[in-house]
Amino acid sequence: MGPARAERAALPRPRVRPDLDGLPLFRGRAAEAGMIGLDCNESPFPPPAAISAAISAAGELNRYPDNASVDLTTRLAERYGVPSAGLTLGAGSVDLCVRLIQITCGPGDEVVIPWRSFEVYPAIARTAGAVVRKVPLTAEHAVDLPAMAAAVTDRSRLVFVCSPNNPTGAAVTRTDVERFLSEVPPDVLIVLDEAYAEFTTGDADPLDGFGLVRELLGQGWTNVVALRTFSKAYGLAGLRVGYCLSATPVAELLGRVAVPYAVATLAQRAALAALECEQEVRNRCGHLVRERERMRTALLDGGWNVPVSSANFLWLPLGSIAVPFAAHCRGQRILVKAFPGEGVRVTVGADAENDAFLAAARQFVPADTADTARRASFG
């Protein structure tokens, strides 16, 4: 090392925020050839019309996208029967989660979340300097709305309600949400995160967050927001398009903190094409729901504890053997999502992929075979 480099190495490091020490880094899947990916809650079905639309738009890559996403916003407004002014698009619904925290929270403010839930919630709250209040799930692995209402304080600024909850799959009912809304102060923003709403087919008293927010807006409510995404049911995880319905003043603030041109032209065109394939999307969701129930039945028959799911994944509350089970699956060339000490989330994939997972599960024997309560066996 020369003198100049040595002198430079001795200089102080840039000043960064010490409160971000230990902030968990979101690690998506690293590309691994030949692996069955049941870890990211993606759709196993490529969307042909959306792909064609994206390819057709590729000739415009030298131009910036429409920053207001006018065509897609107009189409979504027509679909849901809402004013365009209340719709906001983002690079996936997680982009909108970040912005919702930005417009509500500063240092010391509180964000109330169910836990375990979407792993990004605590990280993005902390980047705003907010305090995260985690409310445990119920014994049925569902969001505990009464406990969440009780956790709201005068410092609370935002509440996330994830339904169906990621990673446990449990959904809340509309009746319970309406009761919850009446118990939370009107100056607290309530976010209904419905990334998996299209898979709630057959649920009793299902929550339709968009429909509920539309009704509440008509009654003058301004503190309830609904989020959805094209990443799951519509199969556009690789293009990142999420959308949000809110009161117009909230939408205006979300626009002010947006990263310019966040939703690419290819993404906008693909989402527009996907919206014209509603029956195809419903058919594919219906197939995944049937596969979900087939997998759950097989696992239950084998002695596994598998809570009811309303999403496109299943939750295995394996506790201390979550990581060994995920490692076993990896050994079978199958990726699942492990939450150390808690459980494993398994995405419903294509039929053959699901069969491969079930076969791997049959072969799993925990190291502590004396622990019969935890041992999962198919016979």
Peptide bond into 317 cis (omega under 30): no
Amino acid at 213: V
- The answer to whether residue 374 scores a pLDDT higher than 90 is no
Region 164-191: mean pLDDT is 98
Predicted local confidence at residue 301, as pLDDT: 97
* Model confidence pLDDT, tens digit, residues 224-252: 999 999 999 999 999 999 999 999 999 99
29-46+277-379 and 48-275: same fold? Answer: no
Quote the mean pLDDT of the chain. Answer: 93
pLDDT tens track for 303-322: 999 999 999 999 999 999 99
Going from N- to C-terminal start, the domains of the chain cover 29-46+277-379, 48-275
**What is the pLDDT averaged over residues 271-288?**
97
pLDDT for the residue 33: 79
Q: E strands of the chain, at which residues?
A: 36-37, 87-90, 110-115, 131-136, 156-162, 189-193, 224-229, 242-245, 313-316, 334-335, 337-339, 343-347
Helices (H) and strands (E) in the chain, counts: 13, 12
Indicate the pLDDT class of residue 371, thresholds 50, 70 and 90.
very low
Which pLDDT score, from 0 to 100, does residue 138 have? 97
Q: What is the amino acid identity at position 36?
A: I
Q: CA-to-CA distance for 125 and 246, rounded, in angstroms? A: 20
- Confidence class of residue 18 from pLDDT cuts 50, 70 and 90? confident
Residue 301: Cβ-neighbour burial (10 angstroms; 0-12, 13-18, 19+): exposed
3-state secondary structure 100-145: HHHHHCCCCCEEEEEECCCCHHHHHHHHCCCEEEEEECCCCCCCCH
Percent of the chain with pLDDT over 70: 94
| Average pLDDT for 209-223 | 97
Confidence of residue 299 (pLDDT cuts 50, 70, 90): very high
Rounded to whole angstroms, the Cα distance separating 41 from 18 reads 33
Q: Is 180's pLDDT higher than 70?
A: yes
pLDDT digits (tens, 9 = 90+) for 44-91: 999 999 999 999 999 999 999 999 999 999 999 999 999 999 999 999
Q: Phi and psi for 206 in degrees, rounded to 5?
A: -70, 150
Whether the per-residue pLDDT at 368 is higher than 90: the answer is no
Report the pLDDT value the prediction gives residue 331, as an integer from 0 to 100.
96
Which fold does the domain 29-46+277-379 belong to in CATH?
Aspartate Aminotransferase, domain 1 (3.90.1150)
SS3 state of residue 226: strand
pLDDT band, residue 21 (cuts 50/70/90): confident
Structure tokens at 96: 């909108």
The pLDDT, as a whole number, for residue 78 is 97
Query: Distance of alpha carbon 361 from its chain centroid, rounded?
Result: 25
The pTM score is 0.92
- In this predicted structure, the answer to whether residue 190 has a pLDDT above a threshold of 80 is yes
CATH class of 48-275: alpha beta
Buried residues in 140-168 as b, exposed as e (16+ CB within 10 A): ebbbbbeebbebbeeebbbbbbbbbbbbb
Q: What H or E segment, with its residue span, contains residue 300? A: helix 278-301
